[in-house]
Structures are given as C-alpha cells and as structure tokens.
A and B are shown apart, each in its own frame.
Chain A
Amino acid sequence: GAVVSQHPSRVICKSGTSVKIECRSLDFQATTMFWYRQFPKQSLMLMATSNEGSKATYEQGVEKDKFLINHASLTLSTLTVTSAHPEDSSFYICSALWMGETQYFGPGTRLLVL
C-alpha cells in the first residue's frame, strides 16, 4: 500500500515556541492531505484539509493562525503549531489521499509542550 511518513516522531518544546511537523507521501502524489489531532483515549479529530497549491480548509473551532498549514508540493504538507502552549500537547497525525478514495496515515507525531 501507499506509504506516508511524518517527522519528527516526537518533539518536546518550551511554551511559546513554534513547532513544525512534516507529512510526506513517499510513493505517490497527494493533492489532498489531512491533519488530525488525538488526545489520550479519544478518537481522531480532523483539524484541517490541506490542498496542494491552495489554502487549507480548517474545521470549526480550529484556529488557522495557530495551526499553519502549507502544502507546497504534491508530496509534502507541513503543520506548524505557533506559540505552542501545554494544552497543544497531543498526538498529531496526517494522512494523504490516494486515488481520490483512500486515506493513508502517517505514524503520528507526539508533541509535548512544557
């Protein structure tokens, strides 16, 4: 199946700093990628849809100025958590849409903000 990678796998940062997470589709091109967040013992919550060459579409309640998404190429989308705070600590997972039908997920990035 299609492979999606994420980097870094875990990151610890100080409150107030910004953190960038990369999502790459390794063996296919993805015009559409998705970013999710998952808190402990909860399900995945969709944060935004990332479209190559255009602005991301954010879900209700997700601050676009805080979670900056850039989909600059057909294989790379980045999520930047700006001015991170402890409440942003979570598990961030991306997915890439394959053949307009199936989302393939990355392994996730665990963010801890101190």
Chain B
Amino acid sequence: SQQGEEDPQALSIQEGENATMNCSYKTSINNLQWYRQNSGRGLVHLILIRSNEREKHSGRLRVTLDTSKKSSSLLITASRAADTASYFCAPDSGGSNYKLTFGKGTLLTVNP
C-alpha cells in the first residue's frame, strides 16, 4: 500500500465558501478513496474514484483524478459548519492485501 499526502494540512473558510484539498501519491493506483473523520469518531467513506475516471460527483462533493500527475482533489461546495472535519485520501495500488495507508489529512474548519 502507499500513503497519500494531503495538502494543505489545515484550511479555514467561512460557511458558504468552497473548500479544495489535494492529494498526491507516488505509484500507479487502481483507485483512490476519500474519507472524512469528525473529531473523536471513525472514518466515513465519501467517494471512490477509479484510475480510468477523471471526475466524480456526490452531492456537494466533486473529486478529480489526474493519473499523469499522480494527484487528486476534493472540492466541497457551499460548505457548512458540519463539514468541519479531517479529510484523508487513500490511494489503493491493488494487490491482494487490500491495505490502505493514511497520511496526516487536511483539517478543514468551516466557520459559521
């Protein structure tokens, strides 16, 4: 498994604004997943994008994937205070062990 590197490490915005966070990885992937973690809770799966996909939407979330640059971005539109959380990307290189390695994440704070 390989670890994704999220950027920025912290992001503070006002409610209603859009939030963009980025993820870079090192080697080829089968898919890349984004997760959210609210303070003191488990991870919530947000979206999975496969290596042959360039963009995917889910509600207010938009994920892009650029395999040539080995990077992905997560855009949250019209942010809400409830979006305050840490966001992690998890690149999946495939293989039979299914392991994911998590980086430090992006801590998003949405101010009301």
Residue of B nearest to A94 (CB): B42
Interface hits, A42-75 → B, CB 8 Å: 42-44, 46, 49, 57
The majority secondary structure among interface residues of chain A is strand
Is A105 in contact with B103, judged by CB distance below 8 angstroms? no
User: What residues on A are CB-neighbors of B100 within 8 Å?
Assistant: 34, 46, 103
Nearest Cβ distance between residue A98 and chain B, in whole angstroms? 9
Is A46 in contact with B45, judged by CB distance below 8 angstroms? no
Is B44 in contact with A105, judged by CB distance below 8 angstroms? yes
Q: A-contacting residues of B (Cβ < 8 Å)?
A: 31, 33, 35, 40-45, 48, 88, 90, 92, 97-105
Is A6 in contact with B40, judged by CB distance below 8 angstroms? no
Q: Answer whether A108 and B42 are a contact pair too, CB < 8 Å, given A49-B97, A101-B48.
A: yes
Nearest Cβ distance between residue A77 and chain B, in whole angstroms? 14
Distance in angstroms between the alpha carbons of A4 and B35 in the assembled complex = 15
User: What residues on B are CB-neighbors of A93 within 8 Å?
Assistant: 42-43
Is B42 in contact with A105, judged by CB distance below 8 angstroms? yes
Is A46 in contact with B43, judged by CB distance below 8 angstroms? no
Nearest Cβ distance between residue B98 and chain A, in whole angstroms? 5
Q: Answer whether A1 and B45 are a contact pair too, CB < 8 Å, given A43-B88, A110-B40.
A: yes
Is B98 in contact with A104, judged by CB distance below 8 angstroms? no
A43 CB contact (under 8 Å) in B97, B98, B102: B102
Is A100 in contact with B99, judged by CB distance below 8 angstroms? no
A32 adjacent to chain B (CB < 8 Å) = yes
A102 CB contact (under 8 Å) in B48, B102, B105: B48
Listed by A's residue number, 30 A-B pairs whose Cβ atoms lie within 8 Å are: A1-B45, A4-B42, A6-B42, A32-B98, A42-B104, A43-B102, A43-B103, A43-B104, A44-B88, A44-B102, A46-B99, A46-B100, A49-B98, A49-B99, A93-B42, A101-B31, A101-B48, A102-B33, A102-B45, A103-B45, A103-B90, A104-B45, A105-B35, A105-B42, A105-B43, A105-B44, A107-B41, A108-B40, A108-B41, A110-B40
Nearest Cβ distance between residue B88 and chain A, in whole angstroms? 7
Distance in angstroms between the alpha carbons of A97 and B98 in the assembled complex = 8
Is B48 in contact with A105, judged by CB distance below 8 angstroms? no
